[in-house]
Amino acid sequence: MNALREWLILGLAALFLVALPVWAINQSGVVKLAGQIVLTLVLLVVLGATGLFGYICIKAQAKKWGIGLWIIALLSILAIYWVWFGHLPLL
C-alpha cells in the first residue's frame, strides 16, 4: 500500500511540475507567465543535475555517459529558450 501511495505522489508531482506548466504556456497573461517560470525552474534543475553528473562521468573516464548527459543539458537549454521565445534558435 505504501508503494502505491508513493507512485501516486510521484505522479501528481509530475503532473503539477511538468504537465500543468506545459498547458499553461499555451494560455495568456499571468497564467502563461506562471507556467513559464515553473517550467523554467524544472528545466534549470534538469540542466544543473545533468551538467554536474556529466562532468563527474567525464572525470571518471566514462566519456560516453558524460557526453550523453551534456547533450541532455544542451537540450534543456534549448527547451528554456523555446519556453520564453516560442521558437527554437535559427528556426
Q: Model confidence over 48-88: pLDDT tens digits?
A: 999 999 999 999 988 889 999 999 999 999 988 988 888 87
Q: Across the chain, what does the average pLDDT equal?
A: 87
> Is 76 exposed, middle or buried (CB count within 10 Å of its CB: 0-12, 13-18, 19+)?
buried
For the chain, the structural domain boundaries read 2-85
Indicate the pLDDT class of residue 1, thresholds 50, 70 and 90: low
DSSP 88: -
- Which cell numbers hold the place of 72? 541532455
CA distances from 5 to 2, 17, 32, 63, 84 (A): 5, 18, 31, 38, 35
The pLDDT, as a whole number, for residue 44 is 92
The pLDDT, as a whole number, for residue 15 is 80
The pLDDT, as a whole number, for residue 24 is 83
Q: pTM of the prediction?
A: 0.77
